Amino acid sequence: MLPIHPRSLSIVIPLFEEADNVALLIEQVHQGLADYDAPWELIVVDDGSGDATLTKLKQAAAHYGAHVRIIQLRRNFGQTAAMQAGFDAARGALTVSLDGDLQNDPADIPRLVAELLARDLDLLQGWRRHRQDALLARQIPSRIANRLIAWVTGVSLHDYGCSLKVYRTEVIQQVRLYGEMHRLIPVWVAGVTSPHRIGETIVNHRARCFGASKYGLSRTFRVILDLLVAFFFLRFGARPGHFFGAIGLLFGGLGSAMMAHLLVVKFILGTSIGHRPLLLVAILLLVTSVQLLTTGVLAELLMRTFFASTQRTPHRIAWQSTPVDWKQPNVD
């Protein structure tokens, strides 16, 4: 197998019903990489489009050559699944992702690649500092979501939603994306590499000329739900018992304290406690505590079974030296 060029590039673009943009998109990618001095490929994932997107992709691939690769999904699985399919197919040392709506500028790609290598990063996130989107419907909800994500995860970026990113392929292929997790890719990448190796840079952003946006204001609420899932897996994915156990012990402590108070009231002060709501609250807290502690034990068993069955580990190795020889004992 031939060694991979250190600057070889795989460009991943998910498309869903973007027939009007296909020809211009692929043309602009080739223009932006006309002077790129390393091998590159373009991986376009058709996410079950119902229009002429696939037909135009095949026409473009026939025109430009075999380096334009097409992946057709059997139905519309969503942008996250389409991006994951592209990441799995990537062969370059570096991978770039961008949207297919022509709002990301492919001319930014060579500069982002050079900056990622110069700064020795694993992920360089684009920052659409001057967005060409509707203020109320897109920009304000995005700003709120970005600050919330940065506060919860500790990965401080200005624009999580920008699809224009450059990754080291070996890093992004260790991340598995499900649901609608493409919005939180930097957070998931922080689970396999140091947050210090994640950076951002300002990129060009253009107004949409053709087609219609697939996103609306409702995505803000989905981001919050996705963020809760990401927070749990990143902090407690390898030790779920600590998450459920901590809450269970808290509830158990509160319930026990309430019960101790009621025992004093009943047997020392001689007051009836059967009619007190505090008794029901204490019982509920104790029962919930037992359920949470049991859930934690079961979660730990599932986690250990997962790692054992998949032969995966909760850690990621960035590099290790090649073993050459043993240290021999001193012989007198």
Residue 238 has pLDDT above 80, yes or no: no
Mean pLDDT of the chain: 85
Written in H, E and C, the secondary structure of 175-212 is: CCCCCCHHHHHHHHHCCCCCHHHEEEEECCECCCCCCC
Q: What is the pLDDT, as a whole number, of residue 168?
A: 95
Q: What is the pLDDT of residues 75-102, one digit of tens each?
A: 999 889 999 999 999 999 999 999 888 8
Q: What is the pLDDT of residues 205-237, one digit of tens each?
A: 877 666 555 555 556 667 677 777 777 877 787
- Three-state SS for 273? coil
Q: What percent of the chain has pLDDT over 70?
A: 86
Note the pLDDT tens digit of each residue in 15-40. 998 888 899 999 999 999 999 999 99
Residue among 125, 165, 119 at smallest CA distance from 149? 125
pLDDT at 322: 74
Say how far apart CA 68 and CA 46 lie, in whole Å. Answer: 13
More confident residue, 41 or 232: 41
Q: What's the pTM?
A: 0.76
Amino acid identity of 211? G
pLDDT of residue 235: 77
Between 80-94, 222-236, 249-263, 278-292, the lowest mean confidence (pLDDT) is in 222-236
Checking if the pLDDT of 72 tops 80, the result is yes
How much is the pLDDT for 210? Answer: 63
1 band by pLDDT with thresholds 50, 70 and 90: very low
Among 82-86, 136-140, 180-184, 197-201, whose mean pLDDT is lowest? 136-140
Decide if pLDDT at 118 tops 80.
yes
First to last CA, the chain: 47
- Find which of 159-163, 166-170, 301-305 is predicted with most confidence, using mean pLDDT: 166-170
Q: Which of 106, 97, 109, 133 is nearest to 208 (CA)?
A: 133
Q: How far apart are CA 92 and CA 70, in angstroms?
A: 16
Alpha-carbon span 62 to 135, nearest angstrom? 40
Residue written as token pair 């997107």: 53
Q: How far apart are CA 282 and CA 294, in angstroms?
A: 19
Query: According to the model, what pLDDT value does residue 114 have?
Result: 96
Query: Which whole number is the average pLDDT over 291-300?
Result: 92
**Looking at 177-181, 196-200, 292-296, which range is the least confident one?**
177-181
CA nearest neighbour of 12 among 222, 216, 172, 131: 172
Contact 171, 123 (CB under 8 A): yes
